[in-house]
Structure 1
């Protein structure tokens, strides 16, 4: 169960981080150190979604198992995309708090 939620969260997170990393690479391509920021952005996006996806996916699967309910693939899709949406919202709110 948690594997399905984790994979969908990882894939949907990559849909946000890969275009952002390509945009950073394009905008900072002539900068001496700035071009490496795109790799850091992509790495942080992948590592963050892996750790958050594993922990929250296991928690959701534990609740489903305790209740005795089966999880259909559409539910894993909704939960994985929902996790990514929550991570994006928290990321934007954290940036605005520093301004």
Structure 2
């Protein structure tokens, strides 16, 4: 329970994203949310489960599991970067007659290109891992997805592509 008048934007954003994820069924599709039992505050149960144990209990074996986990991490991490850049663009151009709408273009184009590129690269990585009969832990899928974002940022800001 929170005191009256207390508001933390981080907590509100975390609750909003969690509610959105449950609403879309994203966490349930990844197997991160399982049935739980009610635990009373004065319970004598000694079963303490850490986050690492919960994450490591469900390895990703099939192509759809591999593709979905890598895609979601890559898509939402890249989308986060586009949202931050659109907020910066809106704040910088908020007084411009047409420039304030560039933030919407950044988000729209960022979502479209991110969806297509992350879907293709995640499918390629998932296919290779599936054909190699490689079992991937969810934490490694997170690393693969965020690495996709890091590579996109690297090639966006470097001059490697024009020289090829």
TM-score, reference length from structure 2: 0.55
Matched, 1:42 2:107: yes
The answer to which structure, 1 or 2, has the higher relative contact order (CA under 8 A, 6+ apart) is 1
Matched, 1:53 2:118: yes
Q: Report what 1:13 is aligned to.
A: 78
Deviation at 1:39, TM superposition (A): 0.8
Structure with the bigger percentage of helix: 1
Alpha-carbon distance in 1 for matches of 2:121, 2:133: 18
5+ residue gaps, structure 2: 1-65
TM-score, reference length from structure 1: 0.89
Report the RMSD for the aligned CA atoms in angstroms: 1.2
Alpha-carbon distance in 2 for matches of 1:46, 1:18: 10
Q: Deviations over 1:24-51 (max 9, x none)?
A: 0011111111011111111122112111
Q: Deviations over 1:55-77 (max 9, x none)?
A: 00000011111111111101110
5+ residue gaps, structure 1: none
Q: Deviations over 1:65-98 (max 9, x none)?
A: 111111110111000000000111111125xx6x
- Runs of 4+, deviation exceeding 2 Å: none
How many residues were matched structurally? 95
Matched, 1:80 2:145: yes
Deviation at 1:14, TM superposition (A): 2.1
